[in-house]
Structure 1
């Protein structure tokens, strides 16, 4: 394969970003949603830097990132400062800091006075453990960007924090493309694969942006794809202007994500994991699966992305027209809780229907509080959340968004729907679960462990103790959804509420996690 053979890839816990993280830990006494460090690391930082907890740098961070500010405001401010820090030499070594802004001069002073470098070196083994798996996965990436785009950066740099949640982003300048973000501790293979795909996505942005500057005109009349995703996910898209504000931005994300997943496979990320990741991302990025498939055609043609652009654009116009784009959406996009939560907010109401077991009513009350808190934190508003028994439902209730709690034994409505459920309830002395594609076009199931993601056949066994959450379209109103929550005991039902809901369904057992996606209409698998 042709390659420039000149790019250098480096992965590091950036000392400036970790300096920022330590000052942030001091500013909020180790307790804040953006602090990701393990408790032992936080304790070390608070102890080592205790004499400097009232320094001007700490006061400045506490004021700038005040906890009373909205989450997204703090997130954007952390991202902006991290971009400046990641591109600089270590601040503690800069003696003539007059060129730095006041905030960074305070950081440099803190680094020198506290001997931050000694703390950083004392934790090098922790940092190295967190990045070792990533370095191996990403080592092949630069040649594949060259292969796709016919251009290169001299350096690919992963600059990360170990202990501060920095929103992943990228910058390309002066022959260097930077990934700037965070690398969590305990990077087992599954987490390493996920983060590698995020990094590959960010690395792809500068390449895709240059590509679109030259070729966007070929795609400009296909904004109906964006209109469709706005229609299906009205609240997700309206709150994320950066990705959904213009068709240009949306097309940028589609190309960037599909390139990242294609290169991820070339870097040795297992196909089952990439498939799981693509299905997850297919919900907010339509039609991601069609974009991904196009790179195989392009590779066979021997063309670069820029050469293949007219063919790509022609194919995209052929996939769907403004009149039938909605049909394509449901041919390639799995049904998930993300759809229901958007529909709940759009319609302003959800009815939680609990079964006859006393624990199911208690779970419904817990879910009501959880949903209300989540909606208020995420969107600043909460819909009407109504709790009812089955015999209290009205015909209008049946057409709204529903959450059903219980098995066919305890919830009559679950019993009525059981034949329509892709994950069905089966009784053989006790309630268990079975997967079926009778009511859907395509079905994907995955078992997830710390070490791997494994695609499951539909007849794979389900643990005898389980918690389930699954979402389908409402058969009484195609514009709303129904989510079913059940389990063999209350603790597993509570756990599945806390961990599930991104996929079409989640099954949790003792030391068992399964997620899956189903696409309700046909199409080639």
Structure 2
């Protein structure tokens, strides 16, 4: 009874004043009114574009309440602000900058400057217009009337925070005297997540703004995340592959939060030692861009010479934090960090383990060890060894395979014609055309022409077979799949009147993770086979006929499940299997070493 009473008192003391807020002694989380003001004015300016999350009922209310303000000065000035953004990533970047700026001001309608660390006269004009919009529309009346919508998202964030409270975790590695943690989130707009740092009357504030997911960093794996995910680089629709797993949602949010806190505790020292220690590590990022030049062009994290060094420090902190509560999730996410190009992350993890222990032992802030980590990183990955280390650590993935196409200049999508049911062959051909249309959008930001050809399996030449390939369908329907299936880690076999997806025991080493409605866990590669008629797969391997090229295979137990992975452009796994109930992700390397 005493424990229950203490718990109830805690709930009362920490309950937010509003249902769009959550607060404890040192942690504050909210659906931020400033960010939502920006989101709504953005929607009025551009409609339901690549950044607007389809909260349909909420959008109807926005349309009804703000209908007479679609030509307001704030709407016009926002259109002007984005007028020079020629690509979706450029718009993403400008939105992220504006979002970070707006967090320096108090809530509408006053929107007074409360932090003075960053001032920009052009952005101030936008703030002035947004302030006027908030006053003219009585924005806060709308905002408070829709707390029930915001509460749904806030509940997930609040439960995530309770899994690994930042103040409890971070106190071991930094001085928390006069420190607060704040996490600010929009609701309507998918704004690129970013770190948040401010000083206010002697109090330091660490946290984040914007929101996950960055689809091409941490693709959604649950229904909740999929409903909020937007491809804010190409605007492509996402595949309907998900489980219902609240714990996974919480871990996914914590990964974002601790990534941004990782920036907060490392960026100052990285900036301080930039010329002497960080800039000389540029060769690490160069190695990624040499292998994946298109990633380096469209992903804003590569737009600055050494941003990937900063990202790797933040990613390592996220791994370190989450490994305390779910090692399997942390390991799964680590494999995707490496697939994104951070081939040195295993070394970073080792260094973080070493220096976090020293931080506790010597009672010093972890940030003091950043220069030592930088120096040891050079020792562990000298420039002359980077390519070999890269090849031995970066998994083969569909993303990496599709990036190779910009070097080759072409990719062939191959559909099968062997299905006795000609409707099945026609359906696979249509699937190939859908994949082609997605690739046309995907490659639209590359500066050179990419040839995307759809071919029937019977029309493939020996020269074609050596190219970058995307194979559609299983071994019975597609002759080219028959030719290569011995090289795949997965294969369909027909048993007892049904197609079973089995593992190839001769394939080699695979890290395998299973995501179910209950948890995520690492499992042996050979543990599971799949007999569900909904089974679908997506995988990538090096082309055995020309090993600096790749093969992507998209297939399923039937023609309909084959089409489930029709958008292969955002996957940081070597393979993925989905059977309607669970997701299996596999990671493997296939080093291509110079002779």
Task: Tell me the TM-score normalised to structure 2 length.
Answer: 0.77
Indicate the residue corresponding to 1:45 in structure 2.
Answer: 62
Which of 120, 123, 137 is the matching residue for 2:143? 120
- 2:585 matched to 1:515? yes
- 2:314 matched to 1:256? yes
Indicate the residue corresponding to 1:228 in structure 2.
Answer: 287
Structure 1 residues 77 and 298, CA, compared in 2 at 3 Å: closer, same or farther? Answer: closer
Distance 1:48 1:218 in 2: 53
- 2:176 matched to 1:181? no
- Structure 2 counterpart SS, 1:507: strand
Indicate the residue corresponding to 1:33 in structure 2.
Answer: 50
Indicate the residue corresponding to 1:211 in structure 2.
Answer: 269
Distance 2:79 2:381 in 1: 51
Which of 193, 214, 218 is the matching residue for 1:168? 193
Structure 1 residues 276 and 237, CA, compared in 2 at 3 Å: closer, same or farther? Answer: same
Indicate the residue corresponding to 2:27 in structure 1.
Answer: 9
Structure 1 residues 150 and 420, CA, compared in 2 at 3 Å: closer, same or farther? Answer: farther
Indicate the residue corresponding to 1:190 in structure 2.
Answer: 248
Q: What's the CA shift for 1:343?
A: 0.4
Structure 1 residues 223 and 339, CA, compared in 2 at 3 Å: closer, same or farther? Answer: same
User: Which has the larger displacement, 136-145 or 75-84?
Assistant: 136-145
Structure 1 residues 478 and 314, CA, compared in 2 at 3 Å: closer, same or farther? Answer: farther
1:218-367 to 2 correspondence within 5 Å?
A: 218=277, 221-240=280-299, 242-243=301-302, 245-247=304-306, 249-266=307-324, 268=325, 270-284=326-340, 285-301=342-358, 302=361, 305=366, 308=369, 312-313=373-374, 315-356=376-417, 357=419, 358=425, 359-367=427-435
Structure 1 residues 474 and 172, CA, compared in 2 at 3 Å: closer, same or farther? Answer: same
Distance 1:158 1:282 in 2: 27
Q: What whole-Å deviation, never above 9, does each CA across 1:255-276 have from its counterpart, x for those lacking one? A: 111112212334x3x2222222
Q: What whole-Å deviation, never above 9, does each CA across 1:60-116 have from its counterpart, x for those lacking one? A: 33443459853233222222222222121113135999x994432332232223222
- Structure 2 counterpart SS, 1:498: coil
Distance 1:409 1:347 in 2: 29
Q: What's the CA shift for 1:154?
A: 1.6
Distance 1:382 1:490 in 2: 31
CA contact (8 A) 1:355 1:361 kept: yes
Structure 1 residues 33 and 152, CA, compared in 2 at 3 Å: closer, same or farther? Answer: farther
Structure 1 residues 8 and 37, CA, compared in 2 at 3 Å: closer, same or farther? Answer: farther
User: Which has the larger displacement, 480-489 or 352-361?
Assistant: 352-361
Q: What whole-Å deviation, never above 9, does each CA across 1:369-405 have from its counterpart, x for those lacking one? A: 22112221x4365511123334433333232211122
- Structure 2 counterpart SS, 1:91: coil
Which of 472, 475, 481 is the matching residue for 1:408? 475
Which of 113, 134, 155 is the matching residue for 1:132? 155
- 2:126 matched to 1:109? no
- Structure 2 counterpart SS, 1:164: coil
Q: What's the CA shift for 1:445?
A: 3.0
Q: What whole-Å deviation, never above 9, does each CA across 1:189-222 have from its counterpart, x for those lacking one? A: 4233223212221222132122224555356655
Indicate the residue corresponding to 1:70 in structure 2.
Answer: 87
Structure 1 residues 22 and 388, CA, compared in 2 at 3 Å: closer, same or farther? Answer: closer
- Structure 2 counterpart SS, 1:147: coil
* Alpha-carbon RMSD: 3.2
Distance 1:374 1:306 in 2: 39
Distance 2:488 2:70 in 1: 56
Structure 1 residues 183 and 44, CA, compared in 2 at 3 Å: closer, same or farther? Answer: farther
CA contact (8 A) 2:473 2:562 kept: no
Indicate the residue corresponding to 1:3 in structure 2.
Answer: none
Indicate the residue corresponding to 2:76 in structure 1.
Answer: 59
Distance 1:482 1:20 in 2: 43
Structure 1 residues 54 and 492, CA, compared in 2 at 3 Å: closer, same or farther? Answer: same
Q: What's the CA shift for 1:40?
A: 0.4
Distance 1:415 1:96 in 2: 65
- Structure 2 counterpart SS, 1:506: strand
Q: What's the CA shift for 1:131?
A: 1.8
Indicate the residue corresponding to 2:13 in structure 1.
Answer: none
CA contact (8 A) 2:339 2:394 kept: yes
Distance 1:27 1:391 in 2: 50
- Structure 2 counterpart SS, 1:182: coil
Where do 5+ consecutive residues of structure 2 fail to align?
1-23, 115-120, 214-222, 226-245, 420-424
Distance 1:239 1:494 in 2: 26
Distance 1:68 1:172 in 2: 27
Distance 1:352 1:514 in 2: 25
Q: What's the CA shift for 1:150?
A: 5.7
Distance 1:258 1:149 in 2: 16
- Structure 2 counterpart SS, 1:445: strand
Which of 20, 41, 53 is the matching residue for 1:23? 41
Which of 478, 481, 498 is the matching residue for 2:550? 481
Distance 1:419 1:494 in 2: 23
Q: What's the CA shift for 1:123?
A: 1.7
Indicate the residue corresponding to 1:419 in structure 2.
Answer: 486
